[in-house]
Structure 1
Amino acid sequence: MIKITDLVVALTYDLKMLEDMVAKRLHIEHSRIERISITKRTVNARNKEDIHFDMTVVVCISGDENEVIAMNRNKSISQETELIYTVPTIKKLKERPVIVGCGPAGMFAALILAQAGARPILLERGLDVDSRKRKVLNFWRTGILDTQTNVQFGEGGAGAFSDGKLKIGQKNCRKMKVLNEFVQAGAPPEILYLSKPHIGTDRLNDTVKRIREQVISLGGEVRFKATVTEILIKDGQVTGVRFEEKGKNSEVSTDNVVLAIGHSARDTFESLLNSGVYIEQKPFAVGVRIEHAQEMIDKIQYGGFAGHPELGAADYKMVVHLQNGRGVYTFCMCPGGTVVAATSEENRLTTNGMSEFARDGRNANTALLVTIGKNDLDNDDPLAGCAFQRRIEAAAFAAGGGGYKAPVQRLEDFLQKRKTTAFGDVLPTYLPGTEFAELDSFLPEYITHSLRQAILEMDQWMPGFAYPDALLTGAETRSSSPVRITRGDSLEAIGIKGLYPCGEGAGYAGGIISAAVDGVLCAEQILG
């Protein structure tokens, strides 16, 4: 296969246009092209008068490919090797491995183990994705929270209610394995080549369900409403797992546990710490959600091309490094999306953002986050970051007046340090409802000070970002885990054989793809 990396392609391209461009670039006859596959497509909007796609393609041709590459002598033309993942051959396992948590990390650990014939047992404290969706929608409508099944807990993990954005980076065989499994389970095929792919919350549900069905069909077992209460350890070796399932205490014997518990399993962190598992503090971030009209973001990013059907809803990403040493950045940007209630604990409030596949909502939203380090915490307790998050969530709940209503403030009012009394052009998308409140009433001063500085700097990069009627909703506290369950080169927890801390909750991933790949890696270690 031949890879071509710098094709400049019009927004309205078709296959014939691509074939013509490839034949011209390779200096070959059109008839020699057998197949073209797009491997990367990025919107280039640097020049608002000439927005186009930058594209990488892989081409199969008849005849000698090396001869064509040598003839062209161009850095953008090279030999390409297909990235193929091979499931490891199973070694003999004494007992069935157990996976705790059914987010991306746990789901893909279970899938690889099942495909290898290891018949894993997956324990998830929440409900299956269909039942979970009903619980979450009811919470958003009524404010009635189920602490075991919500935006954080349940099949699919936290990512199931945050747009299904996939941060790919440099592709390798494990990432391609994850992407291909998603596509085979019903995800849109374009996730294989878009530079910023997403599945959409509405389509991710069915995708997750089909992966679970595959695990079961291969001899695996998936148990919902199964909350792990203790990892059993003897002489530095995992021996089993205790869990509460549908109100009854149960126990399963195993010598391999993948701990893919997610960043919000605070009760499990406490249990692990009490069992002697080594946990350490990790930097994280806290902030708010900011909403603009999507139409406005489209015009800022695409100019006269705004609304072009091939571009869809525009997104953005910004990072600011302030003189006070803090970083402030946008995170989990949701074009045409909604701000959602994402708490998992009573009388505490945290937000997230999500989009459906169409990304056709009236507002765009993103998290605006300020970095938090060890110096911001009260003590050296490994769980001090969890306590920090909880204090802000409790204060945000109070500022919203209870009932999981979120405190909101117009951007202009926030910058002027005054309470909002009426909405402007931008109306909130958050449910169960909102209440006007000053962000300073629930966020530490150094966070709000950093946000004010950063917003004005971001407006220099993206004029219009500091729009007076943009809406700030708080608080955003669960963007990443505040702890790391430390592991060694074998991916096992320090001093505990057979315990594999995995994914975002353990501090080793930062999104759906990286968490899923970490699950694959842990499964490989178990399989030897």
Structure 2
Amino acid sequence: MIYASKGRRWEQNMIQLSQLKLKIDHTEEELKALIAKQLKLPLSQITDYKIVKKSIDARKKKELSYVYNVEVTIQGEDKLKKRIHSPGIIFGERPTYQFIPEGRKELLNRPVIVGCGPAGLFCGLMLARNGYRPLLIERGDEVDKRVKAVEGFWSSNELDTESNVQFGEGGAGTFSDGKLNTLVKDAAGRNRKVLEVFTEHGAPEEILYFNKPHIGTDRLREVVKGIREEIIALGGEVRFRTCLTDIQLEQGRVTGIELNHKEQINCQVLVLAIGHSARDTFRLFHDRGLKLTPKSFAIGVRVEHPQELVSKNQYGELFHKLPAADYKLAYNSSTGRSVYSFCMCPGGFVVNSSSELGGIAVNGMSNHARDERNANSALIVTVTPKDFPIMEPGMEALAGVEFQRIWEKKAYRAGRGLVPVQLYGDLCNNRESATIGHIIPNLKGKYTLANLNECLPDYVTETLIEGIKTFDRIIPGYADEEAVLSGVETRTSSPLRIERNDHFEADITGIYPCGEGAGYAGGITSAAMDGIKVFEAIGSTFSNKGICI
């Protein structure tokens, strides 16, 4: 791989200031004055500044503050360097992403990307921007049709197994909170690149500097549409309602693919950017000899509380002056298992996210405004391959998939085809809830009162109950007996990994596992970053000259 300055292009004539703290109701003039004070300069000498990070300091609830990191452009920077010495002031540069494809191997056919979630879209976009004219295939609908199909499912309970919350343009993240923070460290600047691409296609500029950026399901839909349109404008192609149904192999390498059981396409480079719910495609990969490995994930429930409870606990009486608060909770229980919050959605909805007939799965989502009455979060418990069912010889790699199915089917039966909902107090007493309490479910999809003990392993419910009691010490009221639980949350991450080497290829030459479904990401941003990495691997090997369409 060839990078410019090891993946960085340096922006000159810039000063970075960190840890600038101001009250939450400060003005823009006060921020600029603080910048000038830190640099010991008159305001007139500051020509421009840009916020690069913004977070909330809520440690003192009566003195809530915003904390900023900024980049400043000034007149006379060289003189300032000589007299200012502070760990909070850095002169010079911020790295930005740059990659130069220098592959020389002839690519006879355009790259094919399976899946239009974040990994597939970003791999496709970067290939398109560099002249590779990729073909992207997606089993579900383009985003506008997909939204109609999903909303129809929520109102009628009639599931389209090909276009739903899991399948379709944008991937499962399209119906989520649209969180963009990631724990992945990346010196090459891919994280920033992902955020910049989102803003180029309509995401709010604030995602470039908020400490915990999010788009929201409503804004994300327009962003993914814009990315698709750019791919097409650059010579790529995107096909919807198109499913990968077979792979042709010769002497350990991919030579072609079958689409929708009828169309044959020659293929030299195949990117597998499927989501974590493409179970029939996992089976295809298994049958064609790709090396799959079962991996740990987590299952549990969605829990709903009033958003005011969460925000007031986080920010105190001034909570109404700030965005809806989130939380992150974790506990190692006496059962030996971890329970933790996941994909927390401030001011959002619980959603029926099922993708198979006869099974129920739930997730959460928020609009950009996060202004719904309830906060919700997954509360999930770690499960490992030791918990998975015993499979027929040779089928062990798919044991995690079968584990998910077992509990989703039990949820379907417990809810009689609807999302099973239970109050926390009734979960503790192992009884079906008879009525809703003061917390009204904010749920997209039809639901019914049930007993979630019937659709979760005993060790999961025991761990959840212990965890919720513990979390009540952190957020008083969290263990409210009328807190609403919905089940089951099983699609937290891929139940397997498609093995790949250091060049991002599977054990079959030309196949590139990518993103969350392949087991290499967890969330929108990390999946998009993995898509960029796979593009780099392709660009380091193959030339874009001579591609046949």
Q: Where on the TM-score scale, by shorter chain, does this alignment land: which range?
A: over 0.9
Q: SS of the residue aligned with 1:164?
A: coil
What residue identity is the alignment partner of 1:58?
E
Which residue in the other structure is 2:28 paired with?
A: 15
Assess, with a 3 A threshold, how the Cα gap between structure 1 residues 70 and 476 changes in structure 2: closer, same or farther: farther
Q: How far, CA to CA, are the matches of 2:26 and 2:275 in structure 1?
A: 41
Q: Does 1:373 align with 2:384?
A: yes
Q: SS of the residue aligned with 1:513?
A: helix
Q: Does 1:526 align with 2:541?
A: no
Deviation at 1:74, TM superposition (A): 1.7
Assess, with a 3 A threshold, how the Cα gap between structure 1 residues 90 and 214 changes in structure 2: closer, same or farther: farther
Deviation at 1:297, TM superposition (A): 1.5
Q: SS of the residue aligned with 1:222?
A: strand
- Of 83, 88, 101, which aligns to 2:100? 88
Deviation at 1:90, TM superposition (A): 5.8
What is the correspondence of 1:188-227 to structure 2 with a 5 Å cutoff? 188-227=204-243
Q: Does 1:399 align with 2:414?
A: yes
Q: How far, CA to CA, are the matches of 1:471 and 1:69 in structure 2?
A: 57
Which residue in the other structure is 2:154 paired with?
A: 140
Which residue in the other structure is 1:97 paired with?
A: 111
Q: Deviations over 1:223-272 (max 9, x none)?
A: 0011001222211111121111xxx6112112111100010000000000
Mapped contact 1:90–1:118 kept (Cα < 8 A): no
Q: SS of the residue aligned with 1:460?
A: coil
Q: SS of the residue aligned with 1:382?
A: helix
Assess, with a 3 A threshold, how the Cα gap between structure 1 residues 288 and 69 changes in structure 2: closer, same or farther: farther
Q: SS of the residue aligned with 2:231?
A: helix
Unaligned 5+ segments in structure 2 are: 1-13, 541-549
Q: How far, CA to CA, are the matches of 1:152 and 1:283 in structure 2?
A: 20
What is the correspondence of 1:112-123 to structure 2 with a 5 Å cutoff? 112-123=126-137
Q: Deviations over 1:184-242 (max 9, x none)?
A: 10001100000111111111111110100000000000000110012222111111211
What residue identity is the alignment partner of 1:176?
R
Assess, with a 3 A threshold, how the Cα gap between structure 1 residues 218 and 90 changes in structure 2: closer, same or farther: farther
Deviation at 1:105, TM superposition (A): 0.1
Q: Does 1:61 align with 2:74?
A: yes
Q: How far, CA to CA, are the matches of 1:322 and 1:177 in structure 2?
A: 39
Deviation at 1:325, TM superposition (A): 2.2
Which residue in the other structure is 1:233 paired with?
A: 249
- Of 137, 151, 156, which aligns to 2:165? 151
Q: Does 1:340 align with 2:351?
A: yes
Unaligned 5+ segments in structure 1 are: none
Q: SS of the residue aligned with 1:84?
A: strand
Q: How far, CA to CA, are the matches of 1:202 and 1:436 in structure 2?
A: 29
Mapped contact 1:87–1:116 kept (Cα < 8 A): no
Q: Deviations over 1:309-344 (max 9, x none)?
A: xx1211111111123321111011111100001011
Q: How far, CA to CA, are the matches of 2:317 and 2:301 in structure 1?
A: 31
Mapped contact 2:349–2:444 kept (Cα < 8 A): no
Q: SS of the residue aligned with 1:312?
A: coil
- Of 391, 398, 402, which aligns to 1:383? 398
Q: How far, CA to CA, are the matches of 2:82 and 2:482 in structure 1?
A: 57
Assess, with a 3 A threshold, how the Cα gap between structure 1 residues 100 and 44 changes in structure 2: closer, same or farther: same
Q: SS of the residue aligned with 2:96?
A: coil
What residue identity is the alignment partner of 2:408?
E
What residue identity is the alignment partner of 1:398?
R
Mapped contact 1:406–1:430 kept (Cα < 8 A): no
Which residue in the other structure is 2:454 paired with?
A: 441
Mapped contact 2:170–2:221 kept (Cα < 8 A): yes
Q: How far, CA to CA, are the matches of 1:417 and 1:69 in structure 2?
A: 67
Q: SS of the residue aligned with 1:461?
A: coil
Q: How far, CA to CA, are the matches of 2:338 and 2:480 in structure 1?
A: 22
Deviation at 1:69, TM superposition (A): 4.5
Cα RMSD after superposing both structures: 1.4
What is the correspondence of 1:313-328 to structure 2 with a 5 Å cutoff? 313-328=324-339
Q: Deviations over 1:62-104 (max 9, x none)?
A: 1125x53453322111135233223533645222000000000
Q: Does 1:129 align with 2:118?
A: no
What is the correspondence of 1:228-307 to structure 2 with a 5 Å cutoff? 228-244=244-260, 249-307=262-320
Q: How far, CA to CA, are the matches of 1:374 and 1:48 in structure 2?
A: 44
Q: Does 1:496 align with 2:508?
A: yes
Mapped contact 1:95–1:253 kept (Cα < 8 A): yes
Q: SS of the residue aligned with 1:320?
A: strand
Deviation at 1:437, TM superposition (A): 1.4
Mapped contact 1:286–1:477 kept (Cα < 8 A): yes
Q: SS of the residue aligned with 1:54?
A: strand
Mapped contact 2:358–2:412 kept (Cα < 8 A): yes
Q: How far, CA to CA, are the matches of 2:203 and 2:95 in structure 1?
A: 19
Q: How far, CA to CA, are the matches of 1:9 and 1:103 in structure 2?
A: 39
Q: How far, CA to CA, are the matches of 1:354 and 1:233 in structure 2?
A: 40
Q: How far, CA to CA, are the matches of 1:110 and 1:80 in structure 2?
A: 33
- Of 329, 332, 336, which aligns to 2:340? 329
Q: Does 1:175 align with 2:188?
A: no
Q: How far, CA to CA, are the matches of 1:171 and 1:198 in structure 2?
A: 19
TM-score by length of 2: 0.92
Q: Does 1:511 align with 2:526?
A: no
Q: SS of the residue aligned with 1:251?
A: strand
Q: Deviations over 1:149-179 (max 9, x none)?
A: 0000000000000021111445652111111
Q: SS of the residue aligned with 1:368?
A: strand
TM-score by length of 1: 0.96
Mapped contact 1:163–1:201 kept (Cα < 8 A): yes
Q: How far, CA to CA, are the matches of 1:379 and 1:8 in structure 2?
A: 56
Mapped contact 1:342–1:352 kept (Cα < 8 A): yes
Q: Does 1:415 align with 2:419?
A: no
Q: How far, CA to CA, are the matches of 2:15 and 2:415 in structure 1?
A: 57
Deviation at 1:480, TM superposition (A): 0.4
- Of 10, 15, 19, which aligns to 1:2? 15
